């Protein structure tokens, strides 16, 4: 997601430090203190404007959620959207950070689940390493996830989905669930939509998989 540069993005982050993490590296190994409890931690990488992670935090108060977004202007848009919501949540934190560095922010076993929703497809093969399901990123996720943890990935992009199945399989990870048409599957009843999903679900199927690192 690209938004016009918002020159106030950093100010918006600073004004919302009750739920925006300004120095993510200082949180490593301290997430239980930050949330004030030892509930599981689920993170969404590339959270965009945050509809999915906010709604998860609202529906599941016994889980802590951390939304991670690479671009400050996108994060600022998410902060504004969350502030505009009537219902406040205290189990949600957001940060501006590049996923490739997440081992600087979370210790091994600090994360219980990772969501990747509608990640940028980077269709040219010369950009394959930028895909959030490429092996470089899978190394990072493995470093922070508990052994029983899993990755949930949704996409409308058939090419990225096929690439991801191969990449996860080769890593090796086991794919435990797969849907080639999430919105017409029984799981659609509990599915929480993202901004992209709402936009693209009319145009074609939504794909989903859940994968776990092989021991």
Is residue 11 annotated as part of the catalytic site, yes or no?
Answer: no
> Which letter does DSSP use for residue 20 in this model?
B
- Which candidate in 109, 112, 120, 174 is catalytic? 120
Query: Which class for 153: exposed (0-12), middle (13-18), buried (19 or more C-beta within 10 A)?
Result: buried
Contact 118, 192 (CB under 8 A): no
Q: State which residue, 4 or 62, has the beta carbon closest to ligand SAM.
A: 4
- Which residue's beta carbon is nearest to the bound ligand SAM? 46
Contact 182, 210 (CB under 8 A): no
Q: State which residue, 174 or 191, has the beta carbon closest to ligand SAM.
A: 191
| Min dist. Cβ of residue 113 to ligand SAM (A) | 15
| Min dist. Cβ of residue 3 to ligand SAM (A) | 8
Q: Which residues make up the interface to ligand SAM (CB under 6 A)?
A: 1, 45-48, 68-71, 74, 98-100, 117-120, 194-197
Q: Cα separations (Å) of 23 from 20, 75, 99?
A: 9, 15, 15
| Min dist. Cβ of residue 189 to ligand SAM (A) | 19
| Min dist. Cβ of residue 153 to ligand SAM (A) | 11
Q: State which residue, 45 or 145, has the beta carbon closest to ligand SAM.
A: 45
How far apart are alpha carbons 139 and 146 in whole angstroms? 13
Q: State which residue, 57 or 74, has the beta carbon closest to ligand SAM.
A: 74
In the Cβ-directed half-sphere of 134, how many Cα atoms lie within 13 Å? 15
Task: List the catalytic residues.
Answer: 120
């Amino acid at each position: 997601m690209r938004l016009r540069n918002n020159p106030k993005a950093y100010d918006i982050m600073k004004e919302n430090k009750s739920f925006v993490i300004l120095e993510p590296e200082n949180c490593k190994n301290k997430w239980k203190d930050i949330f004030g409890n030892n509930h599981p931690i689920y993170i969404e990488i590339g959270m965009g404007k945050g509809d999915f992670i906010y709604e998860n935090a609202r529906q599941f108060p016994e889980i802590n959620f951390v939304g991670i977004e690479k671009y400050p202007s996108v994060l600022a848009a998410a902060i504004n959207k969350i502030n505009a919501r009537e219902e406040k949540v205290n189990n949600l934190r957001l940060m501006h950070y590049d996923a490739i560095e997440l081992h600087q922010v979370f210790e091994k076993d600090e994360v219980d689940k990772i969501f990747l929703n509608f990640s940028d497809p980077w269709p040219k093969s010369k950009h394959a390493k930028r895909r959030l399901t490429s092996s470089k990123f899978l190394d990072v996720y493995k470093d922070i996830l508990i052994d029983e943890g899993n990755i949930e990935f949704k996409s409308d992009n058939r090419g990225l989905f096929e690439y991801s199945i191969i990449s996860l399989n080769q890593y090796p990870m086991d794919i435990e669930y797969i849907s080639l048409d999430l919105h017409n599957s029984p799981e659609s009843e509990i599915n929480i939509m993202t901004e992209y999903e709402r936009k693209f679900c009319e145009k074609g199927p939504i794909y989903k998989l859940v994968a776990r690192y092989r021991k």
